[in-house]
Structure 1
Amino acid sequence: MDLALNLQLEELSIVETYIADHRFGLHVLFEPEPNQEELERTLEAVILRYEARAALLTCTGCESLFTRYQSFKAPCDLHYYCRECLANLFEYTIGDESLYPPKCCDQEIVFDNVKTLLDDKLVARYADKKIEYDTEPDKRTCCCGSNCKTFVPETNVQDEVATCPDCGKTTCTICKEAAHRGDCPKDEDTQSLLELADKEGWQRCYNTKCHRVIALTTGSNHITCVCGAQFCYVCGARWRTCSCPQFTEEYLLAGVTRPRNAGYRLYQPPQE
């Protein structure tokens, strides 16, 4: 407020001096009366300059003066930011999640509303960071590379393997270590299911993109999974690649107790 008041007083002083000097000059040149029309035009021009100066807005960040077209009005309707300070708000947020999302007076500055006021490179970097911040912390996967640690978006995750968009390394989304084949030992839900399957004598599909657990109630040991894979219910091997019996008598009859086959073993995906 003090700065604006001082500017106004300074401008008024300049106006008064300018008018006085102009009147004196006109009086000397066109005595005895100055040109009234010229005086009015001069006064109008000065007033326009004064009004333009009075219309300048103060940036909340750097306290510099800017026109309305050079600044951004915050959603709180109380503060304005020049483009440089607005960019700084988003730049700081990229480096500090506690500042996300950028706010003014506890009201969010919506990214989509200011993208046209920001540099293209900053827009791209913030857009990537926004995806990371919008992902729940326990569901985030960062590259396992010791010199990378880049966040891997969901679009780069397939079958619980995250591929880093920067260095290309693959990371297990469960244990957060380097990607590996087979079941992740830190996947507690899968481990519990496999323990139950082994206890009940169920079998598991060998297809790396499936691995469903299947319980046979009635029928032969020839299993065709919903994914299309065919395998032996006794040992889990691809169909016709093992010496297990094609039928187990108890599984051909309904309503009888089905003992575990002597050759039963639950299929285990290869590990690396």
Structure 2
Amino acid sequence: MERESYKEVLLPIFKDSAISENQIDEVINIVLNSNNDPDKSKFDNNLEIMTDLLLQTGDSCVNTNTTKLNNVDYYGDLQGAVGFNQNVPRGLSERDFNRVLNVFPDICPQFLTTFSREHHMNFEDLINELSEIDYVRRVKDPLDVWNDLKQMLPDADPIYLRNQARVLSVRPMEYYEEFLKNAIEKGDYPSMQDYLIKQRKLEDLSAYTKQFTATKYLELVPNPIELFTNPERKPVLSGKEIEKSDEDFALTFLYNQFRYLRQSDIKKIFFTFKRNLTQTHHKLNFVPRAFRNPRSLIEEKECCNVNLLQEIAFLKHEKDIRHSLKVQNEKYRNALEQAKKFELLQTCACCFDDQLIPEECLFCNNNHTFCKSCVKTGAENVIGEGGTRFPCFADCSSEFDYFVLKMVLDNKIFERLCQKRQIEEIKSANLDGLETCPFCDFSMIPAEGDKIFKCGNIECMKESCRECRHISHVPLKCSEIEYDEDVKMRTYIENKMSEALLRTCWKCSRKFYKESGCNKMTCLCGAKMCYICGKAITDYRHFGASGCPLFTENLQQFHLTRILEGAEAAKNELGVNENPNKLKFDPTRNI
């Protein structure tokens, strides 16, 4: 089989992984050079060996001089088993063929056909033989494996599952089962919540990268020229807490921007300007070329530092940004002149600024005029107090519509505001079956029969029990779970039971209890007391017909009675006797 055929299969499997194309080429060479058999039907087996080697390689580079197959004959057990010979007698009947597939569901049908023809066994012998050899597995569709994983682990990061599916699709079924078992038992895989939060963050960051527009950028960074060219500004990459990955990202940006300069020179200037990216960039614009032809581009890794991405976006698109600012200033001057000429200037009813052009005005539902700054400040104050309705600032019973607020509020703040308003409206509708997450305000109507409430709020996404309103405890029942309040109640009763069992010396407060003997007790401090009533005594005159008994016939039963009396008193204090369901685990249950 030609090397390109293996490469066409392996490249999609390890796409977006740490395995490079060079590593794939080297592994293909290793496997093919170790197998001198030109039989093309070994493709599936070779592919599995190549995949195993690449998985073992991980992030390291494969070295063709040092990587060996350890003289292992991967093909020995299958010698002559996967070749296709038109002259061999016919193999299994269709019925037996399907029976074998039922016994070995992961076996490759093509391999089974060839193997049965070459060995010409009956059904029982064939089953025994296949049980002892490492037969060729069926090549699974990674997309099918991915869909299966998403159904089994719905709360897992889908990208993580996709990458696992690419690997598991070329491994035996045991690997798939082991992966699922560990994932379900340990739950240490990246979560769907992490994925959604990351996706939202990437969407926000895309305004500075793939979806950059000068207009949108200036909305997010109103004065970039003044901000980034200020010599007194503290560089983004300054201080001891900077991430090494951020520094590498900044250097990669500079290396790609100035491909005619040596990387060592760029790095030297970068540190000379104390990692100030803007000053370094402007300096490099005047450094003479060191190469006739440009260096190759370096692949940029992911960066989540918003401030760094803002500065890099400014340096990449500085010309467009300056042009947009110039156009905006010209438009404003023209609009101001036109407004004065036609007497269209407005006055804010809050701050009384009387130089507002029409484009700067916002209105309540009764058309009172306000500037954007006042509406923004007022709305943020209402949100800070937990409100979702925004009354007019003038002497007016009207409100501001949400489309007005969207023009002045940050996208994230506005999105949370809409969610909160939506939840309030849903609750006020008194819908049958409406439930709210115990850990946030998210509300929905769960499907009938569902025992678990799955929160749809990205910042929460907790799964809770619909009966006890605690974190999901499937497969255990609510009565089998003990929470903090249950532990405190049980512990309080247990402590009272212990106190009822123990006696306290009236003189030194030492705690003790007896296992045998009479009821006249002498403490280590010398004090004497009655074990029954706890009173201080001097001799045996306390005991007798008119006092406590000198001996207790059934000391164990006496202790048990005292313990149960202590527990009963504690339950009365906690109100358990009035509401027995209040105590989930009764310490006296088995006494």
TM-score, normalised on structure 2? 0.19
Q: Which has the higher helix share?
A: 2
Higher strand fraction (1 or 2): 1
| Higher relative contact order structure (alpha carbons within 8 Å, sequence separation ≥ 6) | 1
